[in-house]
C-alpha cells in the first residue's frame, strides 16, 4: 500500500461555542450527490467535546460544501450521566431507514482522570437530528471490560451486528500519574442495543512499550477484513491488520503505507484513521499532531 497525502482539509471552526479547538476522530458517511458527511468532535472553551459534522466532496476537498451547524448534533449529557463531560465521534450505521450514531461518552474520575462508555443516538429524519436512546451507555463497564469501553466501529453481517471497540485492560501509575492501557476487542448484538462481550482481543499490544490502540476502521474486501487504527508507544502512528473472520487478526503495521511528514501538522503523530471507498478509490481521513488540535486531513490510496 501507498497512501498519497492530500493535506489538511478541515480546521476547527473556532467561532462556534462548541468548537473552539480540535476536529478529532473524523468519520465519513456517504450522502446524496456523491458527497460525504464527515462527523467529528470539537472542544469548547472548557475542553468538553461535542459532535458535529461538515459536508465534503472527497474528490475536491479544498473546502467544505456545507460548514458545521451552530449547535452540535450530539451534545453533552445531563449532570452526573456517563457523557456529561464529553461526547466523541465514532461511527454511523444505516439500518431499516434509521441512522445509528455510536459515540464515546466521557465523565471525570477521581482516582483516574476519566471514565468512558459507548453511547448511541439515532436519527429517523435522515440525519437532520439525533436523539440519544438512553441516558446510560449501550456498552459500559462489564466483567469482561471493567475499566472503560470506547470508540466502536460496526458492521452488520447476516443479521449480526459486529462491533470492534476499545477496551481498557488496566491503569498503572507512571511518574505519579495514572496511565491507561487499552486495545481493541470484539462484541456482537442482535439489535445494535444489547451487546455481548466475552473479552475477545482482536488487536493486542505489540510490545511492552505500547499502551494505547485507538478507534479502528474496518473495510471488507471479499473474504478479507482490513483494519486501520492508531497505536501508541512514544507517539501515535497508524497501523494495519488483516483477518479472515474478523476475530483473529494479523498485525502488518509495516505495510500500512503512510507515516508522519517531515514537517507540518502531521509531522509528530498520526492517529484516528477512517477509511472509505468512493468512486473506485480508497480514501483515509486522519488526525495529526496534538490529537487533532489543528483539524483533520485526507489521503488517497495510490
List, as one string, the DSSP characters of 45-59: TTS-EEEEEEEE-TT
- CATH number, domain of 182, equals 2.115.10.20
Q: What is the mean pLDDT of residues 278-297?
A: 97
The pLDDT, as a whole number, for residue 178 is 98
* Total domains present in the chain: 1
Q: Is the pTM of this model over 0.85?
A: yes
Q: Which residues are CB-contacts of 293 (< 8 A; sequence separation ≥ 6)? A: 12, 21, 22
Cα–Cα distance, 217 to 58 (Å, whole number): 17
State the residue range of the domain holding 247: 3-301
Confidence check: pLDDT of 63 > 90? no
Q: How distant, in Å, are the alpha carbons of 96, 136, 208, 225, 270 from that of 232?
A: 37, 29, 11, 22, 10
Q: What is the mean pLDDT of residues 230-246?
A: 97
pLDDT band (50, 70, 90) for residue 77: very high
Q: How far from chain centre, in Å, is Cα 67?
A: 20
pLDDT band (50, 70, 90) for residue 13: confident
The pLDDT, as a whole number, for residue 212 is 98
Cα–Cα distance, 184 to 229 (Å, whole number): 9
Give me the percent of the chain exceeding a pLDDT of 90. 96
Contact 55, 37 (CB under 8 A): yes
Cα–Cα distance, 94 to 208 (Å, whole number): 39
φ, ψ for residue 137, nearest 5 deg: -70, 150
Q: What is the mean pLDDT of residues 90-95?
A: 98
Q: How far from chain centre, in Å, is Cα 16?
A: 22
The pLDDT, as a whole number, for residue 40 is 98
- Collapsed DSSP state (helix, strand, coil) of residue 154: strand
Residue with cell 517531515: 262
Q: How distant, in Å, are the alpha carbons of 8, 76, 124, 187, 202 from that of 160?
A: 36, 30, 21, 10, 18
Q: How far from chain centre, in Å, is Cα 12?
A: 17
Q: What is the pLDDT of residues 167-219, one digit of tens each?
A: 999 999 999 999 999 999 999 999 999 999 999 999 999 999 999 999 999 99
| Beta strands at 224-232 and 217-221: parallel, antiparallel or unpaired | antiparallel
CA Rg value for the chain: 18
Amino acid at each position: 500500500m501507498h497512501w498519497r497525502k492530500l493535506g489538511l482539509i478541515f480546521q476547527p471552526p473556532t467561532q462556534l461555542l462548541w468548537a473552539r479547538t480540535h476536529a478529532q476522530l473524523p468519520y465519513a458517511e456517504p450522502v446524496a450527490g456523491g458527497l460525504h458527511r464527515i462527523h467529528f468532535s470539537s472542544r469548547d472553551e472548557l475542553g468538553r467535546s461535542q459532535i458535529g459534522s461538515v459536508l465534503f466532496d472527497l474528490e475536491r476537498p479544498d473546502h467544505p460544501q456545507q460548514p458545521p451547524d451552530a449547535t452540535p448534533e450530539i451534545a453533552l449529557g445531563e449532570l452526573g450521566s456517563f457523557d456529561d463531560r464529553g461526547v466523541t465521534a465514532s461511527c454511523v450505521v444505516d439500518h431499516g431507514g434509521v441512522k445509528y450514531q455510536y459515540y464515546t461518552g466521557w465523565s471525570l474520575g477521581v482516582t483516574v482522570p476519566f471514565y468512558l462508555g459507548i453511547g448511541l443516538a439515532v436519527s429517523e429524519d435522515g440525519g437532520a437530528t439525533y436523539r440519544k436512546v438512553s441516558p446510560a451507555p449501550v456498552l459500559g463497564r462489564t466483567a469482561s471490560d471493567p475499566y472503560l469501553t470506547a470508540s466502536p466501529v460496526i458492521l452488520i453481517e447476516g443479521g449480526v451486528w459486529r462491533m470492534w471497540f476499545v477496551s481498557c485492560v488496566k491503569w498503572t501509575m507512571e511518574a505519579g500519574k495514572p496511565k491507561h492501557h487499552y486495545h481493541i476487542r470484539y462484541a456482537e448484538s442482535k439489535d445494535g442495543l444489547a451487546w455481548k462481550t466475552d473479552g475477545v482481543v482482536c488487536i493486542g499490544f505489540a510490545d511492552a512499550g505500547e499502551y494505547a490502540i485507538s478507534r479502528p476502521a474496518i473495510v471488507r474486501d471479499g473474504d478479507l477484513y482490513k483494519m486501520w487504527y492508531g497505536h501508541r508507544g512514544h507517539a501515535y502512528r497508524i497501523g494495519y491488520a488483516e483477518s479472515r473472520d474478523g476475530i483473529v487478526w494479523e498485525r502488518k503495521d509495516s505495510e500500512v503505507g503512510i507515516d508522519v511528514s517531515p514537517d507540518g501538522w502531521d509531522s509528530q503523530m498520526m492517529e484516528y484513521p477512517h477509511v472509505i471507498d468512493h468512486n473506485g478509490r480508497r480514501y483515509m481521513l486522519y488526525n495529526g499532531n496534538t490529537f487533532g488540535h489543528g483539524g483533520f486531513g485526507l489521503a488517497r490510496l495510490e
